[in-house]
């Protein structure tokens, strides 16, 4: 086995607590910071996603881990070893790109074997490893075909096999399903989830697709303007966002700007800018909120709709139905409150008759479903 392969195997079998660490990493392009003081610790075997809008720095962060970019400040470590002077081909990582980056003049088998050939592996070992990788992604029957003869999903599987054949410590996924249609994307999400569970490798995925990140990840880092706003489990990212940006970016929410008028340890009394009195839950983490401006987040599915005011509900407001969209399993409503606020409501589709447009209705939600967030 070559020296590079031996080194790679040694790194792969090491067992520190974290597979990937970024310590106060900055990346500047033309004097502008696109990654700002990023701290990350990704556990061994974790499926970790970096989520954010276009231009937030998530792909640059992935490229810093892969070695395609060098940090302007800070340090990147993989398996406890600094990668400062380690080029991409020497790092125990492999990347799956959105464009797949397959060689059109090579067969599927030759594409998967390409990295092993560069490392000068023996032919017999190469045969076994390529065959195993193709079997893993259910593409062994297509070994002699060329990429142009494959569907998008099949090409994605080949790209995965090519990354996995080198037995990396960390698999980097750069918008891996972005080029696929919706149905195929759902199927490939399941394939990637099964692969991760079967292999036990550390997966680091960059995506702008919130549903994809929520369904696949053990933890998610939400990025905004080069910074990480929150790192948490998917459930907590959705149910307990720490900032208005995270609440607004992850899923749908209704945001109200207001001021704290009073508080206890479990409840905040808030008056919105349009005069709505609300009772809200303070955030679980971070500094306690006792005064000043806040944003209030209420998820559409947490809101109840009724034709008369419900009894003993903390937050209840009268409005009228403006628009109703039938979505099959759910009904999407837009309701204008007397204050002028427009609220989005998502209700399960039941056999109950829905009110017609302009019908006076009442919206209500519980304190625990109304989250107050600090305003920077």
Q: Where residue 5 falls among pLDDT bands split at 50, 70, 90?
A: very low
- Asked if residue 297 is part of any domain, the answer here is yes
Structure tokens at 342: 């427009």
User: Looking at residues 343-368, what average pLDDT do you find?
Assistant: 81
At residue 11, the pLDDT reads: 38
Structure tokens at 347: 């209700």
**Is residue 50 located within the same domain as residue 193?**
yes
Ranking 123-137, 253-267, 321-335, 349-363 by mean pLDDT, the lowest is 349-363
Asked which of 183, 210, 239 is the last residue of a domain, the reply is 239
- Asked if residue 244 is part of any domain, the answer here is no
**Number of structural domains, the chain?**
2
**Is residue 53 located within the same domain as residue 186?**
yes
**Is residue 211 located within the same domain as residue 319?**
no
**Is residue 118 located within the same domain as residue 199?**
yes
- Asked if residue 247 is part of any domain, the answer here is no
**Is residue 346 located within the same domain as residue 368?**
yes
Residue 24 has pLDDT above 90, yes or no: yes
- Asked if residue 261 is part of any domain, the answer here is yes
73-84 confidence digits (pLDDT tens) = 999 999 999 998
Query: The pTM is what?
Result: 0.85
At residue 102, the pLDDT reads: 87
309-339 confidence digits (pLDDT tens) = 888 788 999 999 888 887 777 888 899 999 9
User: Looking at residues 141-146, what average pLDDT do you find?
Assistant: 91
- Asked if residue 296 is part of any domain, the answer here is yes
User: Looking at residues 155-164, what average pLDDT do you find?
Assistant: 88
Q: Are 33 and 100 in contact (CB under 8 A)?
A: no
**Is residue 176 located within the same domain as residue 206?**
yes
**Is residue 140 located within the same domain as residue 79?**
yes
**Is residue 259 located within the same domain as residue 232?**
no
Question: Tokens 């009772």 sit at which residue?
Answer: 279
At residue 285, the pLDDT reads: 66
- Asked if residue 327 is part of any domain, the answer here is yes
Asked which of 205, 239, 273 is the last residue of a domain, the reply is 239
Q: How big is the chain by its Cα radius of gyration, in Å?
A: 25
**Is residue 213 located within the same domain as residue 313?**
no
CATH of the domain at 344: 2.40.50.140
Residue 161, SS3 per DSSP: helix
Which helix H or strand E contains 152, and what residues bound it? helix 152-164
Q: Could you list the residue range(s) of the whole structural domain that residue 227 is in?
A: 3-239
- Asked if residue 246 is part of any domain, the answer here is no
User: Looking at residues 139-145, what average pLDDT do you find?
Assistant: 90
Residue 358: C-alpha distances to residues 90, 133, 317, 324, 354 (Å):
65, 60, 15, 11, 12
- Asked if residue 13 is part of any domain, the answer here is yes
């Amino acid at each position: 086995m070559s020296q590079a392969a031996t080194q790679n195997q040694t790194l792969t079998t090491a067992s520190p607590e974290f597979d990937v660490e970024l310590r106060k990493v900055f990346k500047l392009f033309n004097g502008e910071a696109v990654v700002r003081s990023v701290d990350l610790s990704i556990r061994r075997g974790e499926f970790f996603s970096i989520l954010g809008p276009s231009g937030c720095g998530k792909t640059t962060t992935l490229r810093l881990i892969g070695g395609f970019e060098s940090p302007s400040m800070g340090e990147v470590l993989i398996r406890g070893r600094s990668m400062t002077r380690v080029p991409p081909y020497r790092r125990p990582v492999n990347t799956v790109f959105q464009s797949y980056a397959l060689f059109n003049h090579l067969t599927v088998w030759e594409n998967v074997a390409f990295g092993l050939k560069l490392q000068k592996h023996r032919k017999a070992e190469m045969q076994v490893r390529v065959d195993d990788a193709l079997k893993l992604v259910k593409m062994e029957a297509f070994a002699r075909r060329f990429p142009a003869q494959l569907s998008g999903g099949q090409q994605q599987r080949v790209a995965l096999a090519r990354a996995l054949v080198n037995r990396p410590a960390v698999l980097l996924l750069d918008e891996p399903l972005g080029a696929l249609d919706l149905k195929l994307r759902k199927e490939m999400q399941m394939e990637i989830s099964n692969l991760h569970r079967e292999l036990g490798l550390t997966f680091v995925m960059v995506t702008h697709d919130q549903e994809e990140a929520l369904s696949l990840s053990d933890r998610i880092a939400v990025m905004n303007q080069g910074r990480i706003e929150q790192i948490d489990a998917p459930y907590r990212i959705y149910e307990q966002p720490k900032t208005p940006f995270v609440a607004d970016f992850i899923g749908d929410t209704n945001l109200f700007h207001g001021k704290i008028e009073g508080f206890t340890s479990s409840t905040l009394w808030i008056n919105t800018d349009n005069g709505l009195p609300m009772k809200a839950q303070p955030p679980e983490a971070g500094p306690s909120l006792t005064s000043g401006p806040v944003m209030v987040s209420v998820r559409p599915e947490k809101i109840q709709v009724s034709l008369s005011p419900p009894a003993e509900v903390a937050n209840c407001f009268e409005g009228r139905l403006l628009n109703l969209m039938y979505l099959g399993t759910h009904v999407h409503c837009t309701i204008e409150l007397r204050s002028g606020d427009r609220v989005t409501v998502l209700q399960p589709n039941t056999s109950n008759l829905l009110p017609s447009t302009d019908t006076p209705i009442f919206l209500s939600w519980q304190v625990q479903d109304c989250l107050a967030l600090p305003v920077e």
